[in-house]
Amino acid sequence: DGGITQSPKYLFRKEGQNVTLSCEQNLNHDAMYWYRQDPGQGLRLIYYSQIVNDFQKGDIAEGYSVSREKKESFPLTVTSAQKNPTAFYLCASTGDRLYGYTFGSGTRLTVV
């Protein structure tokens, strides 16, 4: 079955560390997205990519970086510059925005 796989499900980061969250899709979708969800805040867009080797900043890109070397993969790195990284991170993709976004099951990142 086609879908989006996010890994790991839970991730713990020490202060000052960079961590990378994985997002892989086998839906043949061109566009991929990273959202962050905090309690009471809703989903906020971090980065998005509409095509391989191209990506744009969303509303809260500071302290994050991405790459899009393959159509299937859109990893997100949370750098040490992100001062409050504890959150639930969601990856999504779409082939046609009229058919909605498909989301992964999320990665919960906690700073320890």
Binding site for another protein (CB under 8 A): 4, 31, 33, 35, 40-43, 45, 48, 50, 58, 88, 90, 92, 94, 97-106, 108
Which is closer to another protein, CB of 31 or CB of 52? Answer: 31
Distance of closest approach, residue 111 Cβ to another protein, in angstroms: 19
Say if residues 64 and 77 touch (Cβ distance below 8 Å).
yes
Which is closer to another protein, CB of 82 or CB of 94? Answer: 94
First to last CA, the chain: 36
Distance of closest approach, residue 45 Cβ to another protein, in angstroms: 6
For the chain, the residue count is 112
Query: How far apart are alpha carbons 98 and 78 in whole angstroms?
Result: 30
**Exposed/middle/buried for 54, CB within 10 Å: 0-12, 13-18, 19+?**
exposed
Distance of closest approach, residue 22 Cβ to another protein, in angstroms: 14
